């Protein structure tokens, strides 16, 4: 397919300036919001068909978060777009200095399958707010949601403004990026694919935002409130059947509390999903058999102390706790992305840090303690994208916090104002009046150095 001829009309549409006015941007956001509110049941059904999500989970982790992002943009867009006056240094006085917020152009947003609606449409809201044209690539692994999104976008927007490109990502994305230069690429997904996207973008110097994953630890210190920690880790881990990039990937619990913590985890799981999660309306399914088979391999890499019940035909994998895991086991070095939770005890903080550093730069980090000094030590000594103290995963829902990774877990951040910023360029402009034109700035510079140094940092 000739993607250049397909997408060039989008570049022309952007260059026409139609997307620039604030009222145009707000109108598109309102159209998107109103469609979502009118079609919540359709969104719920698509997410259930793909991942067996309940309506409550779909609202809390997908639809509701998108609506919050849209409403935040509508409320603040005027102030976000406003040119920002900054100070001018002495050598340039009496000039004035302004930073303008320009849209980038035509951007590409690539979403994964685990939150197939939210992880595509939430960044779309930021791109619309910033005044861009947008190409959306939904995940082919979540077909029901892809059909729904295509229907929504085609109904709401012209193809010159926002377009959906469907198909196998491995077959579609490389030729598209090789034939058309996007002004930004926003990718959410795995680290290996993120590296491929980065390489495709690098040859044309296309800026990227990469929201990746990694091994996100939960630390349970000796003074933690175990029942609260267990409930919050259980929710963060087994939401969407563990298929969440910020899910706790393993727990490091102080050895004095290991058995008590496991007991509390078992209680929390049964409280949330009953003694038979297969029949629970609040527990999801694995996306496909390929992922199911990968997860099943982890059961052999430790001692199953809870769960471990599976049904390949139904893509059901129960919430599972494992212990006695070897440090070099794949389950400790691969992102699990499913409902298997290794629980490992530690004596000293240094031991736990060594385990974390074996897989550096986690996307998320969760610490459970009441001790102010321990909080300070852990947060200051550990690199991670974002996280919580005495909570798990809910920082993602706070649009006032930038969401993104560090190092291996990603490049760039978004949510709220940060979504507008990531799809905008801060364009600096200095305006100088003509009524003053000091000779010290011009050659010849003989006998002017002393004054020049006064103005320019000498």
Pairing of strands 386-389, 320-323: unpaired
**CA 42 to chain centroid:** 24
Residue 36 corresponds to which tokens in the numbers above? 């979502």
Q: List active site positions.
A: 211, 245
Evaluate the CA torsion angle 151, 153, 157, 161 in order and state its sign.
negative
């Amino acid at each position: 397919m000739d993607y250049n001829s397909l997408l060039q009309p989008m570049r022309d549409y952007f260059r026409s300036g139609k997307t620039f006015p604030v009222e145009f941007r707000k109108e598109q956001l309102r159209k998107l919001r109103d469609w979502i509110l009118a079609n919540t049941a359709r969104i719920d059904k698509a997410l259930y068909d793909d991942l067996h999500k309940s309506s409550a989970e779909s609202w809390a982790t997908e639809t509701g978060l998108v609506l919050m992002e849209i409403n935040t943009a509508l409320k603040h867009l005027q102030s976000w777009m406003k040119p920002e006056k900054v100070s001018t240094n002495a050598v340039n006085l009496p000039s004035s200095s302004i930073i303008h917020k320009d849209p980038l152009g035509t951007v590409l947003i690539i979403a994964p399958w685990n939150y197939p609606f939210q992880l595509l449409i939430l960044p779309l809201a930021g791109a619309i707010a910033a005044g861009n044209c947008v190409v959306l690539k939904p995940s082919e692994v979540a077909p029901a949601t892809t059909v729904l999104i295509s229907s929504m976008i085609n109904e709401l927007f012209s193809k010159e403004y926002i377009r959906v490109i469907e198909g196998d990502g491995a077959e579609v994305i490389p030729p598209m990026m090789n034939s058309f230069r996007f002004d930004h690429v926003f990718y959410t997904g795995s680290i290996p694919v993120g590296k491929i996207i980065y390489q495709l973008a690098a040859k044309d110097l296309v800026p990227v935002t990469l929201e990746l994953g990694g091994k996100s630890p939960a630390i349970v210190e000796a003074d933690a409130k175990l029942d609260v920690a267990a409930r919050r880790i259980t929710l963060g881990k087994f939401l969407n059947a563990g298929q969440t990039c910020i899910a706790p990937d393993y727990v490091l619990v102080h050895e004095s509390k290991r058995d008590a913590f496991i007991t509390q985890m078992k209680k929390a799981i049964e409280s949330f999903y009953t003694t038979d999660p297969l029949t629970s309306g609040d527990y999801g399914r694995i996306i496909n058999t390929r992922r199911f088979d990968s997860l099943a391999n982890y059961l052999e890499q430790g001692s199953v102390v809870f769960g471990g019940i599976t049904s390949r035909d139904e893509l059901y994998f129960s919430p599972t706790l494992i212990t006695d895991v070897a440090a070099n086991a794949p389950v400790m070095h691969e992102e699990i992305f499913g409902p298997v939770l290794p629980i490992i005890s530690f004596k000293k903080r240094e031991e736990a840090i060594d385990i974390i550093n074996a897989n550096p730069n986690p996307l998320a980090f969760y610490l459970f303690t009441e001790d102010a000094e321990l909080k300070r030590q852990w947060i200051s000594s550990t690199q991670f994208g974002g996280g919580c103290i005495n909570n798990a995963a809910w920082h993602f829902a706070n649009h006032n916090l930038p969401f993104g990774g560090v190092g291996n877990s990603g490049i760039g951040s978004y949510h709220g104002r940060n979504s507008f910023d990531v799809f905008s360029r801060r364009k600096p402009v200095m305006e100088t009046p003509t009524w003053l034109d000091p000779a010290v700035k011009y050659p010849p510079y003989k006998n002017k150095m002393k004054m020049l140094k006064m103005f320019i940092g000498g």
